[in-house]
Amino acid sequence: MSTSLYWQTLGSGPDLVMIHGWGMNGAVWQQAAEQLSQHFTLHIVDLPGYGHSAESHGEDLADIANQVLAQAPEKATWLGWSLGGLVASYVAIHHPNRVNKLITVASSPKFAAEKASINESGISKAAWRGIQPQVLTAFTDQLIDDFKLTVERFMALQAMGSPSARQDVKQLKQAVFSRPEPNPRSLLAGLKILAEVDLRDALEQIQSPMLRLYGRLDGLVPLKVSKELNLQLPHTECFVFSESSHAPFMTEHQEFCAQVSRFAL
């Protein structure tokens, strides 16, 4: 396994690290990068196991974050989409000296849905909205049979509900398949992270200014998540893209770039 990750650096201005989501690679940022590179020095990574970093591997969230940190700028604004939002949040929690500001895009501190419950002390725990565990299990099973088809299905799921869904999926496919296919071992590790990681309590440790971006039509990170976090993290900023599902940087890329620039500059 290779120990160095593939990075693309472009533009000039304050440092901005951009982290893609599960099954994807850094090419998904192409459209947004053209605009943001006019204001920022962009550092776009292919996570271990993905794209040009396909020969690397990240076993868990800490391992992935540490590999990214090893080659990231000493201090930057960190922007993470979906699974990448967990990576960026982990860095902000455990390495606050490396993060100026934090931006999460269509991300959740806990991607797997959870039913309401009552513990042994009689304290009730509210339900948490997210991806149904059986959906994540199905993706895991399908990966073993046909991982390319599984990734394509995940792309369709990400765009579902967006008025430009067909175009969004086409763009995602073109971007992702322009680079080497992800390695199945890393895809499985990523699904395990989506199924098991819960950073909800740890988010309160984040010291840097934080902007949370959501798509109103997102089926993977329902809007209820943003409302829950508004209550938990009242000091953070939140913006909802009215026409977007899970990929607002494609569906509403002008507004996406405007929100990032407003917050990070």
8 A C-beta contact, residue 47 and residue 24: no
Label residue 261 exposed, middle or buried (CB < 10 Å: 0-12, 13-18, 19+): middle
CB atoms under 10 Å from CB of 149, counted, come to 11
User: The tokens 């990070």 sit on which residue?
Assistant: 264
What angle, rounded to 10 degrees, do the helices at 184-196 and 147-159 form? 40
Hey, what are 171's tokens?
């763009």
Phi, psi of 106 (to 5 degrees): 45, 50
8 A C-beta contact, residue 264 and residue 239: no
Query: Catalytic pick from 15, 46, 168, 218?
Result: 218
Active site residue 164: no
Query: Catalytic pick from 20, 43, 52, 246?
Result: 246
Hey, what are 183's tokens?
């390695």
DSSP 182: P
User: The tokens 């953070």 sit on which residue?
Assistant: 236
Active site residue 235: no
Active site residue 218: yes
3-class secondary-structure state, position 73 = coil
Query: Catalytic pick from 53, 56, 82, 245?
Result: 82
Active-site residues: which are they?
Answer: 82, 218, 246
